[in-house]
Chain A
Amino acid sequence: MTLSDVWTTPKTWTDSDELTVAELNKIVGNLNFLRNGNYYYREVPASASPTYVDFIGVIYCYTGMVHFRYDIIGRTPTTEDTIDFDMRINGNIYYSTGTTTPGSAWRYRNKADDWYIMRLEGWVELTPGSYDFYPYYVAAGAGYLDIYSGRLLIEDFGDGTGVPPL
Protein backbone atom coordinates (compact mmCIF):
# COMPACT_ATOMS: atom_id res chain seq x y z
CA MET A 1 0.00 0.00 0.00
CA THR A 2 1.32 3.42 -0.89
CA LEU A 3 0.41 6.79 0.48
CA SER A 4 -0.17 9.78 -1.75
CA ASP A 5 1.62 12.99 -0.90
CA VAL A 6 -1.62 14.64 0.26
CA TRP A 7 -0.72 13.45 3.74
CA THR A 8 2.87 14.51 4.03
CA THR A 9 2.24 17.86 2.34
CA PRO A 10 -1.44 18.65 2.88
CA LYS A 11 -2.97 20.06 -0.25
CA THR A 12 -4.51 23.51 -0.15
CA TRP A 13 -6.37 24.40 -3.30
CA THR A 14 -6.63 27.96 -4.58
CA ASP A 15 -8.70 29.50 -7.37
CA SER A 16 -5.83 29.20 -9.83
CA ASP A 17 -5.31 25.45 -9.27
CA GLU A 18 -6.39 22.98 -11.86
CA LEU A 19 -8.21 19.92 -10.60
CA THR A 20 -6.32 17.29 -12.51
CA VAL A 21 -7.02 13.59 -12.84
CA ALA A 22 -3.86 12.99 -10.81
CA GLU A 23 -5.18 15.07 -7.92
CA LEU A 24 -8.52 13.29 -8.00
CA ASN A 25 -6.71 9.99 -7.96
CA LYS A 26 -4.80 11.09 -4.85
CA ILE A 27 -8.09 11.79 -3.10
CA VAL A 28 -9.49 8.43 -4.08
CA GLY A 29 -6.23 6.69 -3.17
CA ASN A 30 -6.14 8.22 0.26
CA LEU A 31 -9.80 7.50 0.90
CA ASN A 32 -9.01 3.92 0.05
CA PHE A 33 -6.09 4.03 2.50
CA LEU A 34 -8.39 5.31 5.24
CA ARG A 35 -11.01 2.71 4.48
CA ASN A 36 -8.57 -0.19 4.52
CA GLY A 37 -6.45 0.99 7.42
CA ASN A 38 -2.75 0.35 7.84
CA TYR A 39 -2.13 -2.58 10.11
CA TYR A 40 -0.53 -5.97 10.52
CA TYR A 41 -2.38 -8.88 12.05
CA ARG A 42 -1.58 -12.50 12.54
CA GLU A 43 -2.69 -15.45 14.56
CA VAL A 44 -0.18 -16.86 17.00
CA PRO A 45 -0.10 -20.64 16.79
CA ALA A 46 -0.07 -23.01 19.71
CA SER A 47 3.45 -23.59 20.86
CA ALA A 48 5.18 -25.23 23.81
CA SER A 49 7.98 -23.12 25.20
CA PRO A 50 8.16 -20.80 22.17
CA THR A 51 10.90 -18.37 21.32
CA TYR A 52 9.89 -14.80 20.69
CA VAL A 53 10.99 -14.71 17.05
CA ASP A 54 8.08 -17.00 16.26
CA PHE A 55 5.59 -14.15 16.22
CA ILE A 56 7.26 -11.23 14.53
CA GLY A 57 5.11 -8.53 12.95
CA VAL A 58 6.08 -5.80 10.50
CA ILE A 59 4.48 -2.46 9.69
CA TYR A 60 5.29 0.72 7.79
CA CYS A 61 4.37 3.62 10.05
CA TYR A 62 3.36 6.84 8.27
CA THR A 63 2.07 8.85 11.19
CA GLY A 64 4.73 8.43 13.87
CA MET A 65 2.65 6.44 16.36
CA VAL A 66 2.18 2.67 16.43
CA HIS A 67 -0.32 0.83 18.59
CA PHE A 68 0.29 -2.85 19.26
CA ARG A 69 -1.76 -5.47 21.04
CA TYR A 70 -0.48 -8.97 21.65
CA ASP A 71 -2.99 -11.34 23.22
CA ILE A 72 -2.14 -14.88 24.18
CA ILE A 73 -3.82 -17.65 26.07
CA GLY A 74 -0.99 -19.27 27.96
CA ARG A 75 0.18 -21.04 31.05
CA THR A 76 3.24 -21.99 33.03
CA PRO A 77 2.59 -25.71 32.98
CA THR A 78 4.91 -27.12 35.59
CA THR A 79 5.30 -24.51 38.27
CA GLU A 80 3.97 -21.19 39.47
CA ASP A 81 6.24 -18.51 38.13
CA THR A 82 6.64 -14.85 37.29
CA ILE A 83 7.01 -13.94 33.65
CA ASP A 84 8.09 -10.49 32.52
CA PHE A 85 7.28 -9.34 29.02
CA ASP A 86 8.69 -6.63 26.82
CA MET A 87 8.35 -5.69 23.14
CA ARG A 88 11.43 -5.61 20.94
CA ILE A 89 11.28 -3.12 18.09
CA ASN A 90 13.45 -3.32 15.00
CA GLY A 91 15.56 -5.98 16.55
CA ASN A 92 17.36 -3.79 19.04
CA ILE A 93 15.17 -1.36 21.01
CA TYR A 94 12.94 -2.50 23.86
CA TYR A 95 9.62 -0.82 24.57
CA SER A 96 10.07 -0.54 28.33
CA THR A 97 13.57 0.90 28.34
CA GLY A 98 14.03 2.60 24.97
CA THR A 99 17.45 0.97 24.88
CA THR A 100 19.02 -2.29 23.75
CA THR A 101 18.52 -3.72 27.23
CA PRO A 102 15.21 -5.47 27.88
CA GLY A 103 13.13 -4.47 30.88
CA SER A 104 9.74 -5.29 32.30
CA ALA A 105 6.81 -3.68 30.54
CA TRP A 106 4.19 -6.17 31.78
CA ARG A 107 4.34 -8.79 34.53
CA TYR A 108 2.27 -11.88 35.17
CA ARG A 109 2.67 -14.33 38.02
CA ASN A 110 0.60 -17.36 37.13
CA LYS A 111 -0.41 -20.39 39.10
CA ALA A 112 0.96 -23.66 37.77
CA ASP A 113 -1.02 -25.16 34.91
CA ASP A 114 -3.81 -22.56 34.96
CA TRP A 115 -4.64 -20.92 31.64
CA TYR A 116 -4.56 -17.13 31.53
CA ILE A 117 -5.45 -14.52 28.95
CA MET A 118 -2.42 -12.28 28.78
CA ARG A 119 -2.53 -8.96 26.96
CA LEU A 120 0.51 -6.85 26.16
CA GLU A 121 -0.59 -3.52 24.76
CA GLY A 122 1.11 -0.21 24.19
CA TRP A 123 1.82 2.80 22.02
CA VAL A 124 5.24 3.74 20.77
CA GLU A 125 6.30 6.97 19.07
CA LEU A 126 8.50 6.40 16.04
CA THR A 127 9.73 8.38 13.09
CA PRO A 128 7.93 7.33 9.90
CA GLY A 129 9.43 4.16 8.48
CA SER A 130 9.28 0.39 8.53
CA TYR A 131 9.45 -1.45 11.84
CA ASP A 132 9.25 -4.98 13.10
CA PHE A 133 7.86 -5.95 16.46
CA TYR A 134 8.30 -9.10 18.43
CA PRO A 135 7.33 -9.97 21.96
CA TYR A 136 10.04 -10.91 24.38
CA TYR A 137 9.64 -12.69 27.67
CA VAL A 138 11.70 -14.08 30.47
CA ALA A 139 10.66 -16.32 33.35
CA ALA A 140 11.96 -15.48 36.78
CA GLY A 141 12.25 -19.10 37.90
CA ALA A 142 12.25 -22.53 36.36
CA GLY A 143 8.86 -22.04 34.73
CA TYR A 144 8.30 -21.59 31.04
CA LEU A 145 5.45 -20.41 28.87
CA ASP A 146 3.07 -22.58 26.86
CA ILE A 147 0.86 -20.80 24.36
CA TYR A 148 -2.51 -22.21 23.38
CA SER A 149 -3.39 -19.50 20.88
CA GLY A 150 -2.99 -15.77 20.36
CA ARG A 151 -3.16 -12.72 18.14
CA LEU A 152 -0.74 -9.96 17.26
CA LEU A 153 -2.12 -6.66 15.99
CA ILE A 154 0.05 -3.71 15.01
CA GLU A 155 -1.58 -0.58 13.63
CA ASP A 156 -0.53 2.85 12.46
CA PHE A 157 -2.36 4.85 15.10
CA GLY A 158 -2.01 8.49 14.03
CA ASP A 159 -0.23 11.15 16.00
CA GLY A 160 -3.46 12.46 17.53
CA THR A 161 -3.29 15.96 16.05
CA GLY A 162 -6.31 15.65 13.78
CA VAL A 163 -8.86 18.47 13.87
CA PRO A 164 -11.94 18.27 11.64
CA PRO A 165 -13.07 21.25 9.55
CA LEU A 166 -15.81 23.20 11.29
Chain B
Amino acid sequence: MSEKNYTPVDIRRWRTGESLAPEKLNEISDWMWYFFRGNHTITRYTPVSNLTVPLNLADLQIEDLRTSLTTYGGGVQVTIILPACYRSGGNSLMGCKILIDDSIYMSSGTDTPISSYGVSQWRHRSADVGVFNIDADYFGLEPGPHTFVPIVVQNSATYTVTLQAGFELVMCVKEIPLRRSGAFNDVI
Protein backbone atom coordinates (compact mmCIF):
# COMPACT_ATOMS: atom_id res chain seq x y z
CA MET B 1 0.00 0.00 0.00
CA SER B 2 1.27 3.44 -0.88
CA GLU B 3 1.93 5.65 2.10
CA LYS B 4 2.71 9.31 2.22
CA ASN B 5 3.17 11.54 5.20
CA TYR B 6 2.97 15.28 5.10
CA THR B 7 4.91 17.67 7.27
CA PRO B 8 2.72 20.37 8.77
CA VAL B 9 3.60 23.89 7.77
CA ASP B 10 3.52 26.88 10.09
CA ILE B 11 0.47 29.10 10.02
CA ARG B 12 1.30 32.58 8.79
CA ARG B 13 1.45 35.03 11.66
CA TRP B 14 1.93 38.74 11.30
CA ARG B 15 4.20 40.54 13.73
CA THR B 16 4.13 44.07 15.10
CA GLY B 17 5.83 46.47 12.73
CA GLU B 18 5.39 44.24 9.71
CA SER B 19 3.77 45.87 6.68
CA LEU B 20 0.59 44.41 5.21
CA ALA B 21 1.34 44.56 1.50
CA PRO B 22 -1.43 44.20 -1.10
CA GLU B 23 0.23 41.01 -2.32
CA LYS B 24 -0.45 39.35 1.03
CA LEU B 25 -4.09 40.37 1.02
CA ASN B 26 -4.45 39.10 -2.53
CA GLU B 27 -2.91 35.80 -1.50
CA ILE B 28 -5.55 35.47 1.21
CA SER B 29 -8.26 36.28 -1.31
CA ASP B 30 -6.89 33.78 -3.83
CA TRP B 31 -6.76 30.98 -1.27
CA MET B 32 -10.34 31.69 -0.24
CA TRP B 33 -11.41 31.69 -3.88
CA TYR B 34 -9.72 28.29 -4.34
CA PHE B 35 -11.59 26.81 -1.37
CA PHE B 36 -14.87 28.36 -2.50
CA ARG B 37 -14.68 27.20 -6.10
CA GLY B 38 -13.06 23.84 -5.46
CA ASN B 39 -10.89 21.90 -7.86
CA HIS B 40 -12.72 19.06 -9.53
CA THR B 41 -13.91 17.61 -12.78
CA ILE B 42 -17.12 15.74 -13.57
CA THR B 43 -17.51 13.48 -16.59
CA ARG B 44 -20.72 11.92 -17.81
CA TYR B 45 -21.48 9.25 -20.36
CA THR B 46 -24.78 7.70 -21.36
CA PRO B 47 -24.27 4.47 -23.32
CA VAL B 48 -26.66 4.01 -26.23
CA SER B 49 -26.45 0.24 -25.93
CA ASN B 50 -25.76 -2.04 -23.00
CA LEU B 51 -22.13 -2.30 -21.87
CA THR B 52 -21.26 -5.90 -21.06
CA VAL B 53 -18.81 -6.51 -18.25
CA PRO B 54 -16.61 -9.40 -19.47
CA LEU B 55 -16.41 -12.79 -17.77
CA ASN B 56 -13.72 -14.01 -15.39
CA LEU B 57 -12.56 -10.64 -14.05
CA ALA B 58 -11.49 -9.35 -17.43
CA ASP B 59 -11.38 -5.55 -17.59
CA LEU B 60 -14.10 -3.29 -18.94
CA GLN B 61 -12.21 -0.01 -19.13
CA ILE B 62 -14.73 2.79 -19.54
CA GLU B 63 -12.82 5.19 -21.75
CA ASP B 64 -15.82 7.48 -22.12
CA LEU B 65 -15.41 8.44 -18.46
CA ARG B 66 -11.68 9.15 -18.76
CA THR B 67 -10.80 12.54 -17.34
CA SER B 68 -7.86 14.62 -16.23
CA LEU B 69 -7.34 16.91 -13.26
CA THR B 70 -4.43 19.10 -12.28
CA THR B 71 -3.79 18.81 -8.56
CA TYR B 72 -1.90 21.26 -6.38
CA GLY B 73 -0.48 19.05 -3.65
CA GLY B 74 -3.65 17.52 -2.21
CA GLY B 75 -5.19 14.09 -2.50
CA VAL B 76 -8.14 13.14 -4.66
CA GLN B 77 -11.58 11.77 -3.94
CA VAL B 78 -13.02 9.76 -6.82
CA THR B 79 -16.74 9.02 -6.96
CA ILE B 80 -18.17 6.81 -9.68
CA ILE B 81 -21.86 6.10 -10.18
CA LEU B 82 -22.97 3.19 -12.33
CA PRO B 83 -26.73 3.66 -12.12
CA ALA B 84 -28.24 0.46 -13.49
CA CYS B 85 -26.17 -2.72 -13.35
CA TYR B 86 -28.17 -5.76 -14.42
CA ARG B 87 -27.16 -9.21 -13.30
CA SER B 88 -28.28 -12.21 -15.36
CA GLY B 89 -28.02 -15.84 -14.31
CA GLY B 90 -26.38 -16.64 -10.97
CA ASN B 91 -24.76 -14.40 -8.40
CA SER B 92 -21.37 -12.80 -8.88
CA LEU B 93 -18.95 -10.29 -7.44
CA MET B 94 -18.42 -6.97 -9.16
CA GLY B 95 -15.45 -4.73 -8.59
CA CYS B 96 -14.10 -1.40 -9.73
CA LYS B 97 -10.47 -0.48 -10.33
CA ILE B 98 -9.37 3.10 -10.89
CA LEU B 99 -6.32 3.65 -13.03
CA ILE B 100 -4.33 6.86 -12.55
CA ASP B 101 -2.00 8.13 -15.29
CA ASP B 102 -2.48 4.77 -17.04
CA SER B 103 0.08 3.26 -14.70
CA ILE B 104 -1.02 3.44 -11.05
CA TYR B 105 -3.93 1.61 -9.51
CA MET B 106 -5.68 3.66 -6.86
CA SER B 107 -6.07 0.66 -4.53
CA SER B 108 -2.34 -0.01 -4.27
CA GLY B 109 -0.43 3.02 -5.55
CA THR B 110 1.47 0.66 -7.84
CA ASP B 111 1.05 -0.85 -11.29
CA THR B 112 -0.71 -3.87 -9.70
CA PRO B 113 -4.10 -3.46 -7.98
CA ILE B 114 -4.32 -4.61 -4.37
CA SER B 115 -6.95 -7.15 -5.40
CA SER B 116 -8.63 -8.23 -8.60
CA TYR B 117 -11.60 -6.11 -7.58
CA GLY B 118 -9.72 -2.86 -6.98
CA VAL B 119 -11.16 -0.23 -4.64
CA SER B 120 -14.70 -1.55 -4.24
CA GLN B 121 -16.64 -4.78 -4.35
CA TRP B 122 -20.29 -5.65 -4.62
CA ARG B 123 -22.08 -9.01 -4.46
CA HIS B 124 -24.75 -8.98 -7.10
CA ARG B 125 -27.69 -11.38 -7.06
CA SER B 126 -29.32 -13.03 -10.00
CA ALA B 127 -31.78 -10.78 -11.88
CA ASP B 128 -31.06 -7.85 -9.59
CA VAL B 129 -30.63 -4.37 -10.95
CA GLY B 130 -28.74 -1.98 -8.74
CA VAL B 131 -26.67 1.16 -8.54
CA PHE B 132 -22.95 0.51 -8.03
CA ASN B 133 -21.47 3.48 -6.15
CA ILE B 134 -17.73 3.72 -5.78
CA ASP B 135 -16.00 6.19 -3.45
CA ALA B 136 -12.25 6.15 -3.01
CA ASP B 137 -9.59 8.55 -1.75
CA TYR B 138 -5.94 8.65 -2.75
CA PHE B 139 -3.20 10.76 -1.24
CA GLY B 140 -0.10 9.64 -3.12
CA LEU B 141 -0.20 12.12 -6.01
CA GLU B 142 2.50 14.59 -6.87
CA PRO B 143 1.20 18.04 -7.87
CA GLY B 144 0.48 18.30 -11.59
CA PRO B 145 -1.88 16.95 -14.26
CA HIS B 146 -3.24 13.43 -13.80
CA THR B 147 -5.58 11.19 -15.75
CA PHE B 148 -8.23 8.90 -14.27
CA VAL B 149 -10.18 6.06 -15.86
CA PRO B 150 -12.46 3.45 -14.22
CA ILE B 151 -12.31 -0.28 -14.90
CA VAL B 152 -15.24 -2.58 -14.04
CA VAL B 153 -14.91 -6.33 -13.52
CA GLN B 154 -17.07 -9.28 -12.48
CA ASN B 155 -16.06 -12.82 -11.57
CA SER B 156 -18.64 -15.09 -13.17
CA ALA B 157 -17.37 -17.57 -15.75
CA THR B 158 -20.84 -18.02 -17.22
CA TYR B 159 -23.22 -15.15 -16.75
CA THR B 160 -22.96 -11.50 -17.64
CA VAL B 161 -23.40 -8.15 -15.98
CA THR B 162 -24.51 -5.25 -18.12
CA LEU B 163 -24.45 -1.53 -17.52
CA GLN B 164 -27.79 -0.69 -19.00
CA ALA B 165 -28.23 1.64 -21.93
CA GLY B 166 -29.82 5.03 -21.36
CA PHE B 167 -28.54 5.54 -17.82
CA GLU B 168 -25.94 8.23 -17.29
CA LEU B 169 -22.62 7.04 -15.85
CA VAL B 170 -20.88 9.73 -13.81
CA MET B 171 -17.37 10.14 -12.43
CA CYS B 172 -16.29 13.02 -10.22
CA VAL B 173 -12.62 13.55 -9.36
CA LYS B 174 -12.13 16.15 -6.68
CA GLU B 175 -8.94 17.44 -5.14
CA ILE B 176 -8.93 17.22 -1.37
CA PRO B 177 -6.82 20.11 -0.09
CA LEU B 178 -4.19 18.92 2.34
CA ARG B 179 -5.64 18.29 5.75
CA ARG B 180 -3.34 19.22 8.55
CA SER B 181 -4.09 19.35 12.21
CA GLY B 182 -5.09 22.80 13.32
CA ALA B 183 -7.70 24.90 15.04
CA PHE B 184 -9.78 27.85 13.98
CA ASN B 185 -8.94 31.20 15.45
CA ASP B 186 -11.48 32.38 17.99
CA VAL B 187 -12.29 35.54 16.09
CA ILE B 188 -13.58 33.69 13.01
User: Which residues of chain A have a CB within 8 Å of any CB of chain B?
Assistant: 6-7, 10-15, 17, 19, 27-28, 30-35, 62-63, 67, 82, 96, 104-111, 116, 118-123, 157-165
Contacts and interface: CB of A to CB of B under 8 A. Distances in A.
Given A12-B22, A62-B36, A63-B37, 10 more contacts: A7-B33, A10-B33, A31-B32, A96-B168, A105-B168, A106-B131, A107-B164, A109-B128, A159-B37, A160-B37
A105 B22 contact: no
Interface in B9-68: 20, 22, 25-42
7 contacts: A19-B20, A31-B188, A34-B36, A104-B166, A159-B37, A164-B31, A165-B26
Contact of B34 (A11, A33, A96, A163): A163
Contact of A105 (B32, B41, B83): B83
Contacts of B159: none
Nearest to A16: B22
Given A15-B22, A104-B84, A121-B81, A163 B129 contact: no
Contact of B188 (A32, A158, A163): A32
B167 A6 contact: no
A107 B130 CA distance: 6
B172 interface: yes
Contacts, number: 121
A108 B167 contact: no
Interface string B59-85: 000000000000010000001010110
**B interface residue count range (under 10 / 10 to 19 / 20 to 34 / 35 or more):** 35 or more
Contacts of B170: 122-123
Given A27-B28, A32-B188, A162 B131 contact: no
A107 B167 contact: yes
B32 to A, nearest CB: 6
A63 B36 contact: yes
Given A13-B22, A31-B188, A157 B38 contact: yes
B184 A35 contact: yes
A123 B38 CA distance: 14
B103 interface: no
Interface in B145-186: 164, 166-168, 170, 172, 174, 177, 184
A107 B41 contact: no
Given A14-B22, A162-B37, A165-B27, A106 B84 contact: yes
